[in-house]
Amino acid sequence: MEKKISVIVPVFNVEDYLKACLLSISNQTVQNIEIIVVDDGATDNSGDIADQYAKEDQRVKVLHQLNGGLSAARNTGLDYASGEYVCFIDSDDWIEPDYLEILLEALLKFEADIAVLKMKKIQDYHQITNLTENKNQWELMDRQVAMKNLFMNNKIGYSSNNKLFRSELFLNLRFPVGRLMEDMATTYLLIDRSQLVVVNQSEKYHYFQSPNSILRGSFNPKRLELFDIQNEIIQFIDEKYPDVSVKVRTRTVYAAIRMIMAMIENQYSNRKNFDYVLAFIEKYQDCLNEDPDFSKKLKYLAKFIANHPNMIFSFTRKKIIGNFLSKIEMMR
């Protein structure tokens, strides 16, 4: 009998996108699925749309709750999930018809715990249903290698959305409620519980990158929670994966550089928060010389920022520099 997959869809004020998302899940080539839609206190018609869709597809179960945020909605879905495997789909995203089939076949073939596909970022929602080609090559990573790759490149990524998990990994583990970077706080713990992670570069998960996203709009100080999580990760990695410790620290420097660039781009001139982020560059910049994979250009940039903090902070008040930086894609 085909293994059952629980698909958890958190919903909050996505009436323009929800039907297309649910349709993409219903139309999967894998049929033995349960679709758990968690209405997280939506104030638009999202809840009604979900209820109506449940009448059209008996595999859909709609749960309504007071607004608690993405983590709370996912956790509710996990509490009700009954499948051997579980995945998470954001309600304004779209998956190709063979998305779940590819992931499930890989988990079964390789006896893995987590399967990963690549996310395709879509900024024009009208293009979200464009299909992509399949890539047949899978990369197999044991726990140690997967943990290193999590902090070294984008093969795995923090996101929970482009992955299929063995449900047992979530035993006594849930997403942190009230935190902005819930995936970052959770994915490394799931990898720690796994024996084998398999990765494929097929872009079967289409992620709608809304310009109004909290991570892409005007600078929100809640983004600084990232560094609370980074500190937790550093402590965890130092204890259990010491050979990854340098990678985690250089990743923290990279995150700090990006955060400062976001402050400049958005003309966010809170000196206390600027100095808080700067401190991570100053603290860990020596680790950059120990990481051969870290970009030389970013090493020079980190050093320049650390040596000229007042000049860099002054850029937060200059719109022309912010506009220039907004055109630069920070790549490692």
Domain borders along the chain are 5-208, 221-325
Position 219 scores a pLDDT of 86
Position 322 scores a pLDDT of 52
Which residues, 6 or more positions from 272, have their beta carbon under 8 angstroms from its beta carbon? none
* Sheet containing 119-122: order of strands: 94-95, 205-208, 119-122
Position 145 scores a pLDDT of 97
Position 127 scores a pLDDT of 87
Q: What pLDDT, in 10s, does the model give residues 107-132?
A: 999 999 999 999 999 888 888 899 99
| Rama region for 276: left / alpha / beta (φ>0; ψ in -120 to 50; rest) | alpha
Which residues, 6 or more positions from 320, have their beta carbon under 8 angstroms from its beta carbon? none
Number of CB atoms found within 10 A of residue 220's CB: 14
Of the candidates 248, 249, 257, 246, the one whose C-alpha atom is nearest the C-alpha of residue 298 is 257
In contact, 29 and 97? CB cutoff 8 Å: yes
The Cα 148–Cα 141 span in angstroms is 10
Residue with tokens 């990158």: 209
Contacts 24+ apart (CB under 8 A), 273-278: 273/221, 273/224, 274/313, 274/316, 275/309, 276/224, 276/227, 277/224, 277/227, 278/305, 278/306, 278/309, 278/312
Model pTM?
0.92
Q: Which residues of the chain have pLDDT under 70?
A: 1, 211-217, 319-332
Residue with tokens 């059209």: 56
Q: What pLDDT, in 10s, does the model give residues 182-223?
A: 999 999 999 999 999 999 999 999 999 876 544 455 788 999
In contact, 206 and 120? CB cutoff 8 Å: yes
Of the candidate CATH numbers 3.10.310.30, 3.30.450.90, 3.30.1330.10, 3.90.550.10, the domain formed by 5-208 belongs to: 3.90.550.10
Residue type, 52: Q
| DSSP three-state, residue 82 | coil
Report phi then psi at 296, rounded to 5: -65, -40
